[in-house]
Structure 1
Amino acid sequence: MEELQIKTNSKQYPLLIGSNILTELPSLLKKMKGKISKIMIITDDTISNYHLQSVLEILEPVYKLTSFIIPSGEKAKSFDYFYQCHTHALKEKLDRSSFVIALGGGVVGDLAGFVAATYMRGIPFVQIPTTLLAHDSAVGGKVAINHELGKNMIGVFYQPEAVVYDVSLLKTLPEAEMRSGFAEVIKHALIKDVDLYHWLQKNILSMSDLQEKKLEHVILQGIKVKAEVVAEDEFETGIRAILNFGHTLGHAIEAELGYGKISHGDAVAVGMLFAIRLSERHYNVDLFQSSFITWFESYGYPTNVLKELNPDLLIERMKRDKKSVEDKIRMVLMREIGSVEVVEVEESLIRLLLEEACHG
């Protein structure tokens, strides 16, 4: 087991990573300040079948527990399920000495974290990620729900008390889910870690290579990039926006297709390829986008999905992105591998390249 300290201006907390480390939960919680009156575990109807009972058995001898199960998928990041979680917490008489545990992937972590942040004006929570994708979302304190007009538009920054990353929980994930999470690993490499980029190209030739020590390595290295950025800019007033590389178009694709029709990682992968192409035109450099397309296709990313979509509708979605200012689209662009920045981009250029991708 390895421990990494996540440091922000508002809080420092541990991230534990290893295999079969859920048994560390009681001792970790005992280190938290004050007595814990009750723990509410929020998970989804897929993860609950695999892992909820194990967590209950580990914690039941020590704590009073209750659990709330949401549907799997982006549809659960809604006002309705946010309200249902609060209703359950109130009925179970959670108080300010209670804890929330987010047992699941990014959807569960975002929703449960937002519930914890707003219940009685804020109670502590712990992240237990069960997906590769959650290596990104579980760290840094971004918690939110979706609005039909935009993803993650309603939320706050609220740091967990700890993150417990038991990689043995990832063994039940289908390949599509691993691929979705791996897109965020690629993102972390491209924005800030050239060594990780070269390591991925050499060592991860397919999703089947994401096993044991290699899996732990990509998770830890990806989290280190995220942690470094978050330590510098907790509330996304500056550099933290680079973590949205590929997300401006990626989120637009998710919303336009309908949440859940394409995985977050698949959409972000397409968004990164578009951002690389846009970077080539904006900076007048050759980033060898065609080689990135070949690399992404080797993992199974749907690089042709833009052909199904309308450029005008995508642009309108992109204008609602949180980085946009006064209806101007701002995107994370790449000068070179490992070096990116947020740039205001001419809508005409975005439209031209989208039309090439959508109709080409």
Structure 2
Amino acid sequence: MRKVKVALPVNGYDITIGKGLAEELEKQIGEHKFSSRALLVTDSNVGKLYTEKVKESITKAGLQADVFVVPAGETSKSLETAEKIYTRAIELGLDRKSPIFALGGGVVGDLTGFVAATYMRGVPFIQLATSLLAQVDSSVGGKVAVNHRLGKNMIGAFYQPKFVLIDISCLESLPKREIYTGLGEIIKYGAIYDEDFFRYLEDNTEKIQALAESSLEHIIGRSCEIKADVVTQDEKEKGLRRILNFGHTMAHAIEKETGYLRYNHGEAVAIGMIGAANISRELGLLKDEEVQRLTALIEKLHLPTKAEGVSLEAMFESTLHDKKTVNGIVHWVLLDRIGHVSDITEAPDDVVKKCMRMVLAE
């Protein structure tokens, strides 16, 4: 097992990465003084694969867990679904020390975390991340949210889990596309923070795509370390943590304009990173060869480089409603080299539109 510590001044926690973590789950439950009733939230895809095994571990640890299954997909990340989970929690008599477990990918983690943060003003929350995207992104750092029809993650909170377990054996059941979408976020960590890690990804694409255990442990572990380091310095995104949004401003616009159906999150982020890199180049911050290097890695790991089904005007308008937009000014995360983010966060509209056009399919 590999452990990564999120060393926050208050509510710090461990991320445990390994294969077959049933005993570790029992152990970590036992280290907390939870109430005896618990709720396990999962989705209709993941639930069929892992619910019984996880529920058995929770039971062995002395808890009685009820299961709530939501339909798989982004549409479940809504206030309507959250209300249904609140109702179940109330019906079960869950109290302020009753843990709520999220078993699944980013949708389940974000939704469940939002419920845990707001039910009785906060109950214990545990992340059991099963997708590569969730393992390296949404399960770490305490951002929880649901979507609104006018924007993604517009209703949310900062709420840290008690612990995170990442069982890499879960990745064996994922379709290739789900692996690739996780790689989109992993590329981001190298691009913004660690050129050596970026180079590792360039040099080991075959091992990564073959799900070699040593490579998986390394890329998941290093991604978690980078995010933990950033979150520890800036838990509530007042400064440094904004760098984790590299590629996300365009990505959220792409997801919204395609109804959250055409692109998985990591795919949209891949396109968004190229768009942000193009803006960086146009502003004289980033060399063209660095843009090409980023684009080449994205292509090599089977991620898209252009968005279909999105118009330039709709995409531009959507960025104005992004959470990172303040007083009508979009705060762009830009690069000055691979592995390092520039401090400049504003860009002229004509430059933004030019670079958006570059990543839209004709």
TM-score, L = length of structure 1: 0.96
Q: How many Å apart are 1:95 and its aligned residue?
A: 0.9
Structure 2 partner of 1:181? 182
- Equivalent residues in 2 for 1:1-360 (5 A)? 1-32=1-32, 34-61=33-60, 62-134=62-134, 135-205=136-206, 208-283=209-284, 285-288=286-289, 289-306=291-308, 308-341=309-342, 343-358=345-360
Q: In 1, are the aligned partners of 2:2 and 2:221 still within 8 Å (CA)?
A: no
On the 8 A contact 1:37/1:95 being kept in 2, the answer is: no
Letter paired with 1:283 = G
- CA RMSD, Structure 1 to Structure 2 (Å): 1.5
Q: Is the 8 A contact 2:39 2:101 kept in 1?
A: yes
Aligned residues of 2:305 and 2:359 also touching (Cα < 8 A): no
Residue by residue over 1:214-238, the C-alpha shift from the partner in whole angstroms, topping out at 9 and shown as x without a partner, is: 1111000000000000000000000
Q: 1:90 to 1:351 in 2, by over 3 A?
A: same
CA contact (8 A) 1:5 1:13 kept: yes
Q: Is the 8 A contact 1:206 1:299 kept in 2?
A: no
**CA contact 2:306–2:361 (8 Å) conserved in 1:** no
Question: What letter matches 1:11 in structure 2?
Answer: N
276 and 104 in structure 1: CA distance in 2 versus 1, 3 angstrom threshold: same
Shift in Å, 1:42 = 0.5
Q: CA deviation at 1:284?
A: 5.1
2: CA distance between counterparts of 1:120 and 1:272? 38
Contact 1:203 1:209 survives alignment (8 Å):
no
Q: Which amino acid aligns with 2:148?
A: H
Work out whether residues 157 and 235 of structure 1, in 8 Å CA contact, stay in contact via their aligned partners in 2: yes
The one-letter amino acid of 1:37's match is S
Aligned length: 358
Report the alpha carbon displacement of residue 206 of structure 1 after superposing the two structures with TM: 7.1
Cα separation, 1, equivalents of 2:358 and 2:52 = 50
The separation in 2 between residues aligned to 1:295 and 1:285, in whole angstroms, is: 17
Q: Write out per-residue CA displacement over residues 24-55 of structure 1, whole angstroms, 9 at most, x where no aligned residue.
A: 112111111x3422110000000001100101
Q: Aligned-pair distance for 1:298?
A: 2.2
- Cα distance, 1:259 vs structure 2: 1.2
Question: What letter is aligned with 1:93?
Answer: G
The aligned amino acid for 1:293 is T
Following superposition, the deviation at residue 287 of structure 1 comes to 3.6
Shift of 1:19: 0.6
Structure 1 Cα separation of the partners of residues 207 and 154 of structure 2 = 34
Are the aligned partners of 2:230 and 2:241 in contact in 1 as well (CA < 8 Å)?
Answer: yes
* Letter in structure 2 aligned against 1:303: T
Q: Tell me the amino acid that sits aligned with residue 50 of structure 1.
A: L
Instruction: Provide the identity percentage.
Output: 39
Q: Which residue identity is paired with 1:41?
A: L
Name the amino acid aligned to 1:246.
Answer: G
Mean CA deviation greater in 259-268 or 218-227: 259-268
Q: CA deviation at 1:205?
A: 3.4
Gaps of 5+ in 1: none
Distance 1:357 1:3 in 2: 38
What CA distance in whole angstroms lies between the structure 1 residues aligned with 2:359 and 2:270? 14
SS in 1 for 2:132: coil
Q: Distance in 2 between matches of 1:357 and 1:184?
A: 18
> Which structure 2 residue ranges, 5 or more long, are not aligned?
none
Displacement of 1:250: 0.4
Task: Map Cα deviations across residues 184-235 of structure 1 (whole Å, 9 max, x no partner).
Answer: 1100111001110011100123753332111111000000000000000000
> What secondary structure does 1:118 align onto?
helix
1:356 positional shift? 4.1
Identify if the C-alpha distance between structure 1 residues 343 and 18 changes in structure 2 by more than 3 Å, giving closer, same or farther. same
Letter in 1 for 2:236: F
The answer (yes or no) to whether the contact 2:312–2:357 under 8 Å persists in 1 is: yes
Give the C-alpha shift of residue 120 in structure 1.
0.7
Counterpart secondary structure, 1:97:
coil
Q: Distance in 2 between matches of 1:143 and 1:93?
A: 23
The whole-number CA distance in structure 1 between the counterparts of 2:91 and 2:124 is 18
